[in-house]
Amino acid sequence: MNPKRFTLAWSFTLTLIGILISLFLLYWFFLQSAHWLVLKQKPVISEVAVVMGGGGGSRLRRAVQIYNEGLVGELILVGLKTSNWEHITRYLCPDCILTDKKVTILSGSSSTMTDAEMSLEYCKEQGMKKVLVVTDPYHTRRSALTFSWVFRESNIEVFVVSSGDYGKYLPPEGNWWLDFATLKNVWLELGKCFAVLFTQYLPRFHTA
């Protein structure tokens, strides 16, 4: 066989193998992406549970359950407006009884980053050492990345717990990619996670 043709054939074969491997890895990442977004951490005994704003009543319901189990001694409800939490307790989670609990509402937050920053300020003032963050399943990874970054120098341990309620979305165990709303939400959360990694973690890594 002509050596030149052999070299070209070998190069073509290697290129084809590389493309097939890349396609397989992309397909595998696509299937695993929803699983990666959802943390399945069990709640641990902490001083406080930070309940993320937004969503329905599932986050508050899970936090109340954790409180009633004696795992936390206080609930921090963080969000844009106090009235939003009044709406949740009245209409979305009427069974979430807060009158017999220690509850602090932090208003004025407009993002997960400001949720974390306001929570950190309060927790430092109160001398807390362990914090649970309660949010919905597909939001757990981004919450963990964000809170870990904001709390990184505080000596306060942060644990993120899922509410367990997927609402209108399909869980990772199902054919989530066949549901447009779930697919859109998964890729949106992935994009936000990568944004946190690139804007917060990578600059610190390169300058360390």
Which pLDDT tens digit goes with each residue over 110-158? Answer: 899 999 999 999 999 999 999 999 999 999 999 999 999 999 999 999 9
What is the third-level CATH fold of 39-165? Answer: Rossmann fold (3.40.50)
* Cα–Cα distance for residue pair 95/118, rounded to 1 Å: 27
pLDDT of residue 49 exceeding 70? yes
Torsion angles phi and psi, residue 98, rounded to 5? -115, -10
Distances (CA, A) of 132 to 1, 125, 159, 182: 68, 17, 5, 26
pLDDT of residue 82 exceeding 70? yes
Residue 11 has a pLDDT of: 72
The one-letter code for the residue type at 7 is T
**Most confident option among 2-16, 52-66, 132-146:** 132-146
Residue 10 has a pLDDT of: 62
Residue 57 has a pLDDT of: 93
